[in-house]
Amino acid sequence: MSDKNQKPIILTGDRTTGPLHIGHYAGSLRNRVALQEGHEQYLLLADLQALTDNSGDIAKVRESVLEVALDYLAVGIDPEKSTICLQSHLPALSELALLYLNFVTVARLERNPTIKDEIATLGFARNVPAGFLCYPASQAADITAFRATLVPVGADQAPIIEQTNEIVRRINAACGMDVLPEATPLIPKSGRLPGIDGKAKMSKSLGNAIRLSASTDDVRSAVRHMFTDPGHLRASDPGQVEGNVVFTYLDAFDEDQSAVEDLKRRYRDGGLADAKVKDRLFEVLETLLEPIRRRRKEYAADRAQVIEMIRQGTARAREVTDQTRADVMSRIGLFRLDK
């Protein structure tokens, strides 16, 4: 099953529900750019998972496929190093997901903390789509189909990996051998980036996000409206750094962290205007986003090339995932028609 010369396999990706923002960059995209060196990394454009709570807006799910792919390429994901693939075109993922549903109880899915929180957040109550309740089995299928052993996730998604490993152990027990590897979550040190309003997480739907494709004017406007310290009325007043989004973003994106520490000290002491700190953040974000924006435009000018890149990645992913499906189905003891 394992090849000592093989690089560790990573599965990651995004639900295709809209273009990505700098929160995604801080939390995952820049890690992926680093991880594609030395790992075999698959990036799943998760359009089917997007459907689990967006079956009423399939156009958004469809149109976001290319947007997310463009964001990947723009931040430096290299299709020669990472495999970008489209979930709905990998039938083995659905086959494995449906199989795994027989190895997990409804009660266990309902107890999953991630699912419980998300059902509450989305306000589904009793009207939760069955696909949504079942998506941990679907994610287990995604992860195991690629035989991924490393899965970068936010801390709030760690229970999904636990559930995946429970399913892996049950499938391996049913197979009488370790057909599937268990996975380890890769949880980033930095927490989730807050929105520009300082509220919870950055999210397109909350209108508090800065897209990776944001124009210079968009970035300027976002920084201008950014939540700071409401008690810091005059530049001469001592200001608070904690919960001040401008500083949170400087922590996340400024490459000169000693300069940031210096700014924090001066802000706390009093005498540093919000405008000054915001000017620095604007420069930092522009330095980050300008090349991303430029590359995104270049790729967006040749959509056919991007589609061809997804097509090739998906074909590569299909080979891997079909093989895992065939291994599981035959080893688990189902009847096989293959000659």
Minimal distance, residue 65 CB to a second copy, in Å: 4
Minimal distance, residue 137 CB to a second copy, in Å: 7
Choose, by CB under 8 A, the member of 28, 82, 83, 88 that binds a second copy.
88
Minimal distance, residue 323 CB to a second copy, in Å: 14
Using CA atoms, how far residue 30 sits from 98, 246, 311, in Å, is 33, 20, 24
Minimal distance, residue 100 CB to a second copy, in Å: 8
Q: Which is nearer to a second copy, 73 or 263 (CB)?
A: 73
Is residue 137 within a helix (H) or strand (E), and if so which, with residue range?
Answer: helix 135-145
Cα separation, 133 vs 118, in Å, equals 10
Interface with a second copy (CB under 8 A), residue total 52
Q: Which is nearer to a second copy, 98 or 259 (CB)?
A: 98
Cα separation, 213 vs 271, in Å, equals 34
3-class DSSP state of 311:
helix
Using CB under 8 A as the criterion, what x/- string covers residues 253-282 for binding a second copy? ------------------------------
Using CA atoms, how far residue 132 sits from 59, 125, 314, in Å, is 19, 12, 24
Strand 150-152, strand 40-46: pairing: unpaired
Q: Which is nearer to a second copy, 103 or 253 (CB)?
A: 103
Choose, by CB under 8 A, the member of 73, 104, 272, 281 that binds a second copy.
104
Q: What are phi and psi of 133, to 5 degrees?
A: -60, -35
Angle at 144 between CA 143 and CA 146, to 5 degrees: 80
| Binding-site ranges for a second copy (CB under 8 A) | 16, 47-48, 51-52, 55, 58-59, 61-62, 65-66, 86, 88-89, 91-92, 94-95, 97-99, 101-107, 109, 126-134, 137-138, 174, 307, 310-311, 314, 329, 332-335, 337
